[in-house]
Structure 1
Amino acid sequence: MKINGHHHISMYTKDIKANQHFYTHVLGLRLVEISVNQDNPSMYHFFYGDEEGMPGTLLSFFDIPNLAPTQKGTNSIYRLSLLVPDSAALDYFETRLASFNVTSERLEYAGQPALSFLDPDNIEIILIQNDDYTYPAFWKKNSYSDIPAEYQIVGMGPVELRVKKTEPTRQFLTDILQYEERAPLHFTQDKGGLYSDLIVVEEDGPSVRPGRGYIHHIAVDVPDDSDLEAIIRYLDELPGSHSGIIDRYFFKSVYYRHNTIMYEFATSGPGFMIDTPKDELGKKLNLPDFLEPERDEIEKRLPPLT
């Protein structure tokens, strides 16, 4: 079993148009996939990432217009971070966010200078100065963005989990998934980089109530089907049930909830260019083959996009 790092993180948005504007025009990510929730094709499923939508750069959103706000609390994936190259990039984004009337705050996070702000659905995002930490060589700069390449977001950084009891999560991450502890309750697959990290915080009180801005799951990247099968052998020995392998067309996945947190294990490939050239990514509704016969009905149920 091998885990490469993060694959993607999935969230709920109330307004997919405002969401698209923020992540592409403000943050400079590329919309690499317009699809639907395969379990409920009446809602859009958008993916943003680097130029080719590589694992570890992907932010995914389900569009649910009638959502009430999330009531934040424990037992949740609380916030996420994105890596920028250096202090000049952090300064650039502080100015850029202000130009779009987005309030940001300087802080230190994961031992690095950082910038915190909220997206249109009140999801907290932290931009972290990556400096000399490594990250995957296959991540691509986005030539479709107006942000200069030297300042662009490079990919995902640490993801923060909040739970009432941290010890079960610590055991799951270290004993089963083979993460190392970089610092107390700060876990990584690569001590040379921040791109795979999970930070676990113990927090009592009411649990999260999902709604607009809810972070549904964190997906970790595994090389191929054999790694999913190895993970299943481990999960079969643990309490609760897993989903088994589900073919998501762009990758294959296994879902498992542990200590209230939903984890997805997703294969690196085949990726979004399985049926779409790079320059056409994110330009039209793309359906997996098994949903293509239903395209007309699906498009009738979806709100139009401009």
Structure 2
Amino acid sequence: MSLIQGHHHISMYTKDKVENKRFYTEVLGLKLVKETVNQDDEEMVHLFYGDNHGTVGTLLTFFELPNAGQMRKGTDMIARIGLLVEGEDSLNYFERRLRQEGIAVSKGTYLGHPARFFDDPENLSFVLMDNQQQTIPDDWKNPVDTDIPKSYQILGLGPIELHVHDANKTIAYLRGEYHYDVYDAKEGTVMTLDDSGHYTDIVVVKKGGPVVRPGRGYIHHHALSVADHQALEQVAMLHDALKVQHTGIIDRKWFESLYYRQNGITYEFATSQIKDNFVKNE
């Protein structure tokens, strides 16, 4: 039994919060759940987007860095974010919507599902996947008040793709410490906690070359969900037993977290119990 429940959120850099809010709310149709500050640097804006309730597993977050240069993509990076929708009509709808914004979209498949690939205006890579009625968490079904029809809206996070020099290190860590199941696909090695759906998947891709250079559009960390404080204590003890450095448990105001950088990737382990005052205007 894994301590991990699935994705909690994923956090990126943006240069311009105004344009960022426009794209993620008006184009992708997500809710601006909260606009706050980075608790480690209160001069830095922190934006949270998700479903109407700000549900764990639906959350994209951005730190605003007005002086950020362009990211140089490479390896040892979180390379692509999967977003789940239901039905090919939804994929076609978003393809038209993105093209109207001047966003290039390509058709294909991902893990055997119909998909659309695109980069946001800051070169952050996404894949929209048709979920094809596979399993998703029951508490995800919270449509946003937007012009996008409810049946077409983004459900939540799908596979998160990692590019690393040494794929075996990442696979051994997730499999050995957190009991992810493993299978091979044309995209890479898939780590999953639920083979009836893709809402927990991590896709590990071996890639050589220069390491990523952070900038706007860079994915800073991948947050994995754990149940509560007790589970987070177990995560801390697990890493202590590995004799590796981690941050220890940190109070993030709305939830608790622990951070650990493994094989070039920063993971946050965050409690799924989010305080009631988290969601904007609710």
Q: TM class, shorter-chain normalised?
A: over 0.9
Task: Give the TM-score normalised by the residue count of structure 2.
Answer: 0.95
Give per-residue Cα distances to partners, 1:139-178, cap 9 Å, x unaligned: 1332311100000000000001111111111110001011
Q: Counterpart amino acid of 1:180?
A: D
Say yes or no: does 1:173 pair with 2:174.
yes
Say if 2:72 and 2:212, in contact at 8 Å, map to a contact too: yes
Task: State whether residues 34 and 280 of structure 2, in contact with CA within 8 Å, keep that contact through their aligned partners in structure 1.
Answer: no
Number of aligned residue pairs:
278
Q: CA deviation digits over 1:32-65, x for unaligned, max 9?
A: 0111000000010000000010010000000001
TM-score normalised by L of structure 1: 0.88
Q: What are the equivalent positions in structure 2 for 1:240-251 lying under 5 Å apart? A: 240-251=244-255
Contact 1:45–1:62 under 8 Å retained in 2: yes
SS in 2 for 1:42: strand
Rounded to whole Å, the distance in 2 between the matches of 1:35 and 1:61 is: 10
- Give distance in 2, aligned partners of 1:116 and 1:243: 35
Report if the CA contact (8 A) 1:52-1:140 is conserved: no
Larger radius of gyration: 1
- CA distance, structure 1, for counterparts of residue 237 and residue 111 of structure 2: 32
Superposition misfits of 4+ residues, deviation over 3 angstroms: none
Partner Cα separation in structure 1 for residue 40 and residue 158 of structure 2 = 28
Structure 2: unaligned runs, 5 residues or longer: none
Contact between 2:6 and 2:57, CA under 8 Å: does it hold in 1? yes
Distance 1:83 1:254 in 2: 27
RMSD: 1.3
Q: Take 1:240 and 1:205, find their aligned partners in 2: how far apart are those partners?
A: 26
**2 CA distance for matches of 1:214 and 1:100?**
21
Q: In 2, distance between residues paired with 1:233 and 1:62? A: 29
Structure 1 residues without counterparts, runs of 5 or longer: 282-306
Q: Please state if 1:256 is matched with 2:257.
A: no
Could you list the per-position Cα deviations for residues 4-37 of structure 1 after superposition, in whole angstroms to 9, with x for gaps in the alignment?
A: 1000000000011111000000000000011100
3-state secondary structure, aligned to 1:138: helix
Distance 1:111 1:176 in 2: 28
Summarize deviations over 1:201-249 as a string: whole Å, max 9, x none.
Answer: 0011110011111100000111101111111111112243011000101
Shift of 1:279: 6.8
Give the match for residue 183 of structure 2.
182
Residue pair 1:133, 1:192 contacting (<8 A) in 2 also: yes
Check the 8 A contact 2:31/2:144 in 1, yes or no.
Answer: no
2:211 corresponds to which letter in structure 1?
A: S
Please tell me whether the aligned partners of residues 11 and 60 of structure 2 are also in contact (alpha carbons under 8 angstroms).
yes
